[in-house]
Structure formats: C-alpha cells, structure tokens
Amino acid sequence: MTGPALEFTENDQIGRVAGVDTSRVAIDVTNSEMLTRVGIGQLIAIKGATQAEFLIGMADRVTRSLREELSDPDGGEFGTLTISPADHMQAFVIGTYRTVDGDKTNSFKRGADSFPQIDRNCYVIEGGNLQRFMGILGADFSDDERLKLGTFVADQSAEAIASGDRFFQRHAAILGSTGSGKSWAVALILERAAKLKYPNIVVFDMHGEYAPLADKSKSGFAQRFRIAGPGDLAAPKDDALFLPYWLLNRDEMLSMILDRSDQNAPNQASRFTLHVRELKGETLDTAGKAKVKETFTVDSPIPYEISGLVDRLKTDNTTKGVGKNGAAVKGDWEDKLTRFLSRLEAKLDDRRYGFMFSPPSEALDYGWLAKQIVKLLRADSGNGIKIIDFSEVPADVLPVVTGTLARLLYDVQFWMNAESRTPVTLLCDEAHLYLPVKDDADAVQRQALWSFERIAKEGRKYGFSLLVVSQRPSDVSRTILSQCNNFLALRLTNDSDQNVIKRLMPDSLVGLTAMLPLLDTGEALLLGDAVLLPTRIKLDQPQVKPDSATRDFWKEWGTLRPDETLLEAAVECLRSQARSN
C-alpha cells in the first residue's frame, strides 16, 4: 500500500468531539443521516494533534433524542415550535494511526499518545477506508509469528491475524456457551499449530471429542492417548496411559484417602509419610542411585510397592507396646490407622482407579518415568500435538489426576536446563470440571488448583503456558483467568459468565462485552496482547472437525430409530466401565 490507508472527505464526517473523559470521547453528531449506519463496535477516526495522525476509537453508545425549539418570529407575535433531533455518540480510544511514523507508513499502535481535543473532526471508518485499515492490522507480524484465526466481521475480505507468540506465551482463554463453537476454535488453533515444525501442545480432553484430530485416515495430525480404563488392566493397549500412585506427592495422595475430620488424621498422615519416604529410599538403594538419595524428598516421583506400604501400616495398626514389666500394652499406633487403611484398600480394590493403583509391572522400574515424559513432551515426526482422553476417569479423582499430570509436566520443564527448554502449552478443555473457584473447591480439587495456579503465575518464565477452555467462566478459578492475557470470547448468554469477562477487561473495553450474547455461532471477540485491535471476528472452520456437533433433535426423532442391539451393548460397556465392548 503506497497511499494513506485512511482518506476522508467532508461527507465522511459524522461530528465533532464534545467531551473527553480519560479514554472515552463524547461526540456531537452533525450528520444525522450517517448515524443510521453506525452501530456498537463501529470504528471511528478522530483527528489527532498532527495532519498525519488519527486516534482510532470504537463506538459503544449511540443515542438520539428529540428537542423542542422555538424559532424567532419573523414579523409575527409568536415564533414557530419545531422538533429537531439531538444525536450523540460515545466511543473509547483504542489506538493511534499514523500515515507516516518515522520511516514507516500506515502504522497502527495500541494506546493513545495524546487525548482527543475538543471540536476535532470525527469520521466513520467504512467502505474502502475500512478495508485498507483492516489490511494493515497484523501486517507487521513476521511470517513465522502469524496466527490466522479467521476474518473480521466488519470487513470479511480482511484476515484476522494474531501474534502466535503473544497468544501462547502469556496464557489464553477460549470461553463460550455450549454450541457457540468452542471446540471448533480449539481444533482450528491446533490445526494451525500442527503446521509448524516442532509444536508442543498437550490437550486435556474431558469427553473424547478431539479423537478425530488423531485419525490419520481422516487427515488427522495429532497423537492420542487415553487414561487407562478397567479394560486395560490385564492387557494394556498401546495408547493407554497410566499414572501410578507414586507420581502423586504427599498432599495429593492424602487428599484422596485421609479424612481430615478423623481425630487420628495427624497420626495417619505421619505414618504414611514416614513409610513412603523409607520405601522410596529402598528403591534408590536397589537402583544404585546414591546421589539421588542424598537429596530426595517424600514428594520425589520414585517408584515403590503399594503392597509394602499397606503391610507396614497394618503392622503399625496391630503392634502392641511393651509395659514396665514386659507385659503387652496398647501400642502407640494400634487401632489408630484402621479407617485410613480401609479407605486406602477400598481405592486399591476399585478397578476404576486401576490406572493409578494397578499399573503394569514395568511402571515400577526406575527408568519408566523418563520414557513416559519423552512420549508426552517430544515434538518430532508429527507427534507435537498430544491429546489425552480423560473421559473414563472417575469424577471424584479427576482434579487430582489432571493436577498431578500438569504438575509433573511443569516440574520437568522447571528443572530442565534453561538453554535446553522448548515451549510447552497445556490446553485445559472443560476447565470448570477440575479448576473451580477456590471457595467452592473440596480437598481434592484444591490440590489440582494449587498445581494449575502455580503454572498460571510462574509458567511464562519457564516456557510453560495454559490455554483454558470453558463454557462456564464463572465456575473457573479467578486466579487462573486473571493471569490470562488473551481471550477468545464466543457467545455467552449467562449474566454471571458475562460479568466474569467484564471484570477481566480494562474499563475502556467493557463496552465490547455487550456483544457477547449476540454473537453468531463461530463468531468471537478477540481481545488481548496478541492483537492490535480488539475486535469481532468470524472464525475459520477447521479441516478436521471435533466430535462435538450439536445433534438435530427434531429431525433425528423423525428419521432415526434407536438400535436395540447397540443399547444392549452400551449396557455392557457401562457394566465393564470400558467403551471398547
């Protein structure tokens, strides 16, 4: 583009600046005919301090009122009463456009270097001006930084480009009601990332809806794993993923089996901690890891036999003490661990927890963990996008499982040499299921929250980021959402969910949230550091679509008959807790 992107005539002028309040501008409308074409979100150009400068604003209020005026009498006794419109607009300033800025032409930057001045001309950006202006957004992003998400709703000929670096490195959130297009947005972003040479994204898939993205026969590009179900315990399949109990730290393990209201809870926690530390020490002795033994803690991910822990706890629970005369007396721990043992053994006997308490024998090898980490964090030969299916994990331990895996991946990144780190993003689908508001969280959920909130606060320094996806932002941890600097907000109809978005936005952008309940399926507001202009976009459709399409209830009730054989098969799957049946 050689000429200025914005060129206005008198016919494009809509009014003049009548008032300025920080970033908000009040405009007296002089072109009432043009006002009928202006809506919320319309871009406005305000003449700046120099000829080469315009302040760019976005309309968030348009009003028309009628006023009565008494004209002066012309030789008569009484004047004529007339009614005329008084039109006003309000806009908030979002950036500065310059036709020439040093050696650059047609540049746009966020923020205003100066405030609008009273009586400055204001113009509506539309038609050719709009096309040219949208074209310069994202033009400064380098080719290896560009993340194309769709097109601008205001000008569908212009591509909506975000900075891929800024989108991922400062945490992001994709928020929208069910059916608004969240899953397609996720699939689109994964599809774009998969075209890079070494992407590294781990997807926590709660419902198995992203399985098509790993189907190579349908142009899939991801690698898929499943948290092992009861059907995997005898003969694990290649894609089954186990998370052995010894990966859990002390607090995560106790959150599942310790009843804090039990008067013996301190004794139970104490004996558990002592025995686990000793058992891990014995493993290090057997593996010849004397150097590790000098510094390891009870939280270190070192294998040990759970049966050995149970035996030691039972011994504590039944061992008598010795009195003054050598007579047997009640032992220090006798009968104090009974309920703790019962809860632990109940978990061991429940096949739903087999992925944790009944891992394959090789999971007790010292070198097993390193192999699993390589499987999950490698990014070569098309293995960069990893989808982990949590759909068969029991709901009561889902937070601990997701939190343990997230903490483990983050800790590996944390302890890696700084020069050797490659960036990793954790995509948390249906985040409200395991990252609740802290006040509503139970003991199990708080363990997961601690892990994810640590990542949200510190992860950027270590090349580890979060992409949070939820249909109920009001139920997601405030701490985690407040650390997100980029938002892809799709349709949200619930007031409490909309208010969450409003609280996360700067005051100047709150007006944009009025669009949230009006967005069409696949439309979104893109806000944050990754884009120069907060705006409404139409997302591209992904080539490989997730298994999340909304069913056509009325049409299918009229054409599709339930299959009795498949219903009977589903009952068997329910009984066996495995979909493969």
CA distance 250 to 404: 11
Match 């206005």 to its residue by tokens.
Answer: 8
Give the pLDDT of residue 341: 93
DSSP assignment of 151-205 equals EESS-TTSEEEEEHHHHHHT-EEEE--TTSSHHHHHHHHHHHHHTSSS--EEEEE
- Given a contact cutoff of 8 angstroms between Cβ atoms, the answer to whether 446 and 205 are in contact is no
The pTM (predicted TM-score) of the whole model is 0.85
Give the pLDDT of residue 296: 93
CA distance 347 to 357: 8
Helix axes 443-458, 250-257, angle to 10 degrees: 150
Give the pLDDT of residue 285: 94
Q: Which two tokens stand for residue 350?
A: 């429940």
User: Does residue 33 sit in helix, strand or coil?
Assistant: helix
DSSP assignment of 96-142 equals EEEEEETTEEEEEEES-SSPPPTT-EEEE--HHHHHHHHHHTTTTS-
Smallest Cα–Cα separation from 484: which of 441, 527, 534? Answer: 527
- Tell me which amino acid residue 149 is: L
Report CA 411 to chain centroid distance, whole Å.
Answer: 20
Give the pLDDT of residue 550: 74
- Given a contact cutoff of 8 angstroms between Cβ atoms, the answer to whether 100 and 22 are in contact is no
| Beta strands 159-163 and 523-528, pairing class | unpaired
- Over the chain (581 residues), the average pLDDT of each successive run of 10 is 80 90 86 82 87 87 75 60 77 87 82 85 88 81 88 83 91 92 94 92 93 89 89 84 92 87 89 94 94 93 94 91 77 88 92 89 93 88 86 84 91 90 93 86 81 92 94 91 92 89 74 81 89 87 86 88 90 77 50
The angle formed by the CA atoms of residues 111, 113 and 118, to the nearest 5 degrees, is 105
